[in-house]
C-alpha cells in the first residue's frame, strides 16, 4: 500500500528526491475535478506500493505550483529522483491513470 502524504512548499523537494517515485497531486479545495480524482488516488494508493502519492494544495503553496508550471488543476506529476517523468493534466478514470503511469509504477 502506497502512502499518501500532504506536501507543502517546505517539504516538497525532500519528497520528490526520496528513494521511491512520488506522484504529486496539485489540487485545491474549490476544484470539482480535484474532488473527483481524490478517491481514485486513494484507491491506487491502496493497491500499489512502488511509489508514494503526495497532495499539494496550490492555494496554500503557490510557490511550488508556479515553480513547476502548474497552470490547471488537477495536475498530477510523477517525480523520480527529483526529475519530472510524467505529467497528467485533468481528472481521468483509474484505468487511464494507470495506463499513463504503467512504465513507472509496479504493483
- Determine which one of 15, 16, 22, 34 is catalytic: 34
3-class SS of residue 66: helix
Question: Is-catalytic flag, 34?
Answer: yes
User: Strand locations in 13-100, DSSP E?
Assistant: 22-27, 52-57, 75-80, 83-89
Cα torsion 92, 95, 96, 97: sign: positive
- Determine which one of 15, 16, 22, 31 is catalytic: 31
Task: Give me the active site residues, please.
Answer: 31, 34
Amino acid at each position: 500500500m502506497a502512502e499518501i502524504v500532504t506536501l507543502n512548499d517546505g517539504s516538497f523537494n525532500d519528497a520528490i528526491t526520496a528513494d521511491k517515485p512520488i506522484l504529486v497531486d496539485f489540487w485545491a479545495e474549490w476544484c470539482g475535478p480535484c474532488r473527483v480524482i481524490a478517491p481514485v488516488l486513494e484507491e491506487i494508493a491502496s493497491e500499489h506500493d512502488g511509489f508514494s502519492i503526495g497532495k499539494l494544495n496550490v492555494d496554500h503553496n503557490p510557490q511550488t505550483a508556479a515553480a513547476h508550471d502548474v497552470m490547471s488543476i488537477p495536475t498530477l506529476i510523477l517525480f523520480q529522483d527529483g526529475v519530472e517523468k510524467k505529467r497528467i493534466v485533468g481528472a481521468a478514470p483509474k484505468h487511464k491513470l494507470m495506463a499513463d503511469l504503467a512504465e513507472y509504477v509496479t504493483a
